[in-house]
Amino acid sequence: MNDKTYKKAGVDLDLAAKIKKSISNPIISTHNKQVLNGLGSFGSMFELKGFNQPIIVSSTDGVGTKLKLAIELDCYDFIGVDLVNACVNDIVVCGAKPLFFLDYIAVNKLDNFVINKLISGMSKACINVGCALIGGETAQMPGIYKNKDFDMAGFVVGAVEKAQVLNPLDVKEQDVIIGLSSEGLHTNGYSLVRHALSIDENPQILNKFYSDLGSTLGAALLKPHISYVESILSVLPYIKSAAHITGGGLIENIPRAFSSDLAAYIDLSAWDVLSIFNIIQAEGNIAEEEMYKVFNMGLGMIVICDKKMEDNVLSSISGSFKIGYISKRIGESQVIF
């Protein structure tokens, strides 16, 4: 009798079916009347309503090597939140409201606990921004991934009225730059952190308590990527442009919010750099320029507005603060500290 089966090859279809059933409730909790079919369909259908001249905005992203720390600490509570918020923040800078989200998770071997934690986090984040978790795929890929390793990606689709699209070309000299605080690294720079602090060689450092952080290093590094959707949508009438501070840090992301003939003059004393970044820089012996090129340094988002709208923005977004202004570009750099 031939005993070669898919399960013995590393793919457990029965467990996959069981997990799909267990995650259905949190997924369905994100659905609204615009979701036209249930789970299990080959394609998910969403009815676009409430727009006169809708511009569809889409984006995709992952969580990067932050996953390595989550696996090492066996803590997956916020990884799903990270995935959703990394994606929705990328489309809200166009002025778009997130409509629906899809995920892709690839694993060596299914783990019911881990998958449920990931989906639960995604569902909570989707509900928070009024976005439907409309579909996804969980792929068992033994031989590609080993042990507890896995990867995940997210895909978001949103829409904005054509007349409300934020356009970097609208930014002019003397416009004001306003910063929105981050709560940590969000989902960027973890490969540098792991390398600089030798975390892969000495994972126990993640359990080290730092009084400046009020927590262990691991807990600080796993703080979730926060959403700026509500904040940005609340000030759409007041702002011209915005930039999500993701991979590339302040130096590479701020210039994405204005044209190439302009420059941003940033006052570094306008905010306090989070303690986690000071610890990473000191213990990893990382140059300051590299820090600002890789990390958000305490700013998760920036918006740009006319001087006349500055007070409107600051009063509308709790914890926001002016960090600089726009001027004519003189040299090579578009970000001047």
First to last CA, the chain: 72
- Indicate the burial class of 16 (C-beta count within 10 angstroms; 0-12, 13-18, 19 or more): middle
For 44, phi and psi rounded to 5 degrees? -100, 140
Q: What is 168-336's CATH superfamily?
A: PurM-like C-terminal domain (3.90.650.10)
- pLDDT tens digits for range 248-306: 999 999 999 999 999 999 999 999 999 999 999 999 999 999 999 999 999 999 999 99
- Number of other residues whose CB lies within 10 A of the CB of residue 125: 30
- pLDDT tens digits for range 198-254: 999 999 999 999 999 999 999 999 999 999 999 999 999 999 999 999 999 999 999
103 beta partners? 136, 154
This prediction has a pTM of 0.96
The arithmetic mean of pLDDT across residues 142-168, rounded, is: 97
HSE-CB for 135 with a 13 A CA cutoff: 13
335 beta partners? 264
Q: Return d(Cα 70, Cα 101) in angstroms, integer.
A: 22
13-164: CATH topology: 60s Ribosomal Protein L30; Chain: A; (3.30.1330)
CA 294, 299, 301, 306 torsion-angle sign? negative
The arithmetic mean of pLDDT across residues 145-159, rounded, is: 97
Residues of the chain with CATH 3.90.650.10: 168-336
Residues of the chain with CATH 3.30.1330.10: 13-164
- pLDDT tens digits for range 27-77: 999 999 999 987 888 899 999 999 999 999 999 999 999 999 999 999 999
What is the DSSP track for 2-29? ----TTTTT--HHHHHHHHHHTHHHHHT
Q: How many helices (H) and strands (E) does the chain have?
A: 12, 12
